[in-house]
Each structure stands twice: as structure tokens, then as C-alpha cells.
Amino acid sequence: MKIILVVGARPNFMKINPIINKIKEYNFKQTKQRILKYILVHSGQHYDFNMSDSFFKDLEIPPPDIHLGVGSGTHSEQTGKIMIAFENVCFKEKPDLVMVVGDVNSTLACSITVAKLCIPLAHVEAGLRSFDRTMPEEINRLVTDSLSDFLFTTCRGANENLKKEGIPENNIYLVGNVMVDTLYKYRNLAELKIEKFKNLKKKDYVLLTLHRPSNVDSKKTFQEIIESLVEISKEIPIIFPAHPRTQKMIERFEFYNFFHKSLNYHFSQMKGIFLLSPLPYLEFLYLMANAKFILTDSGGIQGETTALGIPCLTLRENTEHPITIEEGTNILVGVDKEKIINESLNILNGKGKIGKIPELWDGKAAKRIIEILINKYID
């Protein structure tokens, strides 16, 4: 059996990693006829060292077999370029199955290509819905799921969403969360290996990420968020590894005055917001696991903080990960200044949300996925 695995953007790499590892583990014990041959394709949607290569390095992901090198563009440009390049890959490689993960433009582009070529499609992290179609990722999720033959989900709510959309029940598999597989695998290593932040007192800082166009592309919204962060940072320092888009917006809006631009501080004695470049996986994991709490507009971090039991305040009006609110440590605070500050103070006053780990977020999601595919295709 030949399978193409697709990645493109930062949040894809930690999701594909456990899948590759399980395929390798399986192959190690097999005869030649029963091997699951995989080809790793990188669309090139993310291309900066910090957004891509550093993840391959930290997670020991083998270099992509094929790199499409598409880079940035408008949504249609990016999607179109990936489709054209990926179609050629499919013509040449003739895979039995293509696997996509998450909800980025690369996920969407490869799904459409594959469906038109009548190649079976597997989607890892299917069924998540924010019910907000102004989010590009929601469109990507809806289209990808409607075209997929194997829909691997992280929680029961996702199964329900898919059933309501008319997806046959037989195609839906509740397997758990592959992102959590990687988190559990690397958590101790991050603790052992990362020296860079040793001056940082544990649980004495807040970690912040912000990159949604709806939060950073509008000067007014971004400024309001920063004003609430400035208030919080009077109580506890905030560490802010910023996405390239966010860095560009800070420059465009001339917001630099709000931030410290250097790491050469003893954070515990400092107040303020520390602006950093995007971090490699292990450094970010170290900071996340030891933070007092996280402020974020990311999707994946909502799940990761729930798995780690770290309080998370999500700077969005909705989420495609409601389980992190129902069961985990996540609270939606939107971009309302008062709410952001009040919920932050709550946590600082020892009233942070205590969650539980959702069903099947046990580090074995990729194992379940590979077993299902082997059952269908090889056994």
C-alpha cells in the first residue's frame, strides 16, 4: 500500500509526526508485501525556518520526499498553486490513499485535488466546527470533511457534527488527538533539554500567541487587545513569540513601543510584554508547560493546554474545540478588554479553571489510525 502524507503549515507538523512514527514501527515488523509505503509531501505554505524546518528538526521528522514550494499568497492563489502542483504528484505517484491533517489551506487544496482524481482521502482531526464561516479554516474543514473517506476525530462532538452533515457513520472513527500524542512524547524532553529559559521562574509568567487575521489585521482590535495585555503585564510578565504576520502588523501599526524586544532580562523581576520570534516546538512546549496561564487565538493550543492542565484564555468569540471549554481548562474571552483582564486576574488570584483530560487523549491516537488503515487495506 502506498500513502501520501500532506503537510504545509506549522500546526500540521506535530500532527503528522506520530503518524509517521507509527507507520515506521509497523513496517519494521513486516514482510515486504505488507509494508505501508509513505511519501511525505510539504506544500511549502510555511517556509521560514522558525515556521517549518525547526519543527522537522525538533520532532525528528524525515525531510519531505517532495516539496511543492508554493509559499504565501491570497487564499485562492495559495490553494490553486498547491492543487496544480499536488495533482502532478498524484499522477506520478498513484497513491492508494492520501492523508491530510488539520484545517489549513494545504489541507483543503490537496483534498479537492484528491477527490477529483477519485483517490481515497483520510482526514485527521475531522468534524471540528466553529460554526463561523468568516474563518477560512471553517471553510477548509467543511470542504475537506465532505470529501473524505476516512474521518478521524478527536472527540464525540466532532462525530455528532459530521453525522448532522450527512457523513456516513461507517466513515467516522473516534481515535483521539494526534497533537496530544506528540505533546506527551516530547514533554519530558522539553523539560530536560531547554536551557534557554532557565532564568524564568516557573508559573511566574504568561505565554501569549496571537495570529488570527481577525485579531491582528485590524489596528483597532489589535490595539484593544494590546491595551488589555499591558494591564495584565503590570501584574505578571508576558512572553509573546509572535507569528510573522503579527510581527509585520506590529511594524505596520507602529506598536513596537508596547513591547520589550530582548530576552536579556530576569523575567521574574520584570514587568511588561516580551516580544520574541516564533519558537521551535520544544522551546514553546517548555514555556507552555511551565506558564501560569496562556493567552491565545490559536486552535491547537486550546487542546494542548487542556492536555497539560494549564489554564487557557482564548481571544476569540467562538471555538472549533468546544470540548476544551466543556471539559478542559479553556475559557473564551473574545477581544473584550474587561473580560480579558478579569479572567486573567481570576487566574492570578488562584481561581483558574481546573479541567480534565478528554476521552482518548492518551497518546495513542496515531496508533489507532494506522491500525484502522491496515485493517482496511492490508489485512
Residue 292 and residue 309: Cα distance in Å, rounded? 11
Q: For residues 90-119, which are near ligand UD1 according to CB under 6 A?
A: 104-105
Which one of 1, 35, 39, 51 is in contact with ligand UD1 (CB under 6 A)? 51
Nearer to ligand UD1, 158 or 301 (CB): 301
**Contact with ligand UD1 (CB under 6 A): which of 42, 141, 243, 367?**
243
Inter-residue contact 112 to 132 (CB < 8 Å): no
216 or 370: CB nearest ligand UD1? 216
Check 123, 211, 243, 321 and give the catalytic one: 211
Residue 7 CB, nearest approach to ligand UD1 (Å): 12
Size of the site for ligand UD1 (CB under 6 A): 18
Closer residue to ligand UD1 (CB): 15 or 260: 15
Stretch that binds ligand UD1, among 7-15, 26-34, 159-167, 199-207 (CB under 6 A): 7-15
Binding residues for ligand UD1 restricted to 66-85, rule: CB under 6 A: 72
Within 183-242, which residues bind ligand UD1 (CB under 6 A)? 211
- Looking at the Cβ atoms of 64 and 352, the one nearer to ligand UD1 is 64
Scanning 46-54, 158-166, 230-238, 304-312 for contacts with ligand UD1 by CB under 6 A, the matching segment is: 46-54
Other beta carbons less than 10 A from residue 340's beta carbon: 22
Torsional sign, CA 267, 272, 278, 281: positive
Residues 307-366 binding ligand UD1 (CB under 6 A) are none
Q: Is 211 a catalytic residue?
A: yes
Q: By CB under 6 A, is residue 47 in contact with ligand UD1?
A: yes
Of 139 and 230, CB closest to ligand UD1: 139
Q: Which active-site residues does the annotation give?
A: 211
Residues that bind ligand UD1 (CB under 6 A): 9-11, 45-48, 51, 72, 104-105, 136-137, 211, 243-245, 298
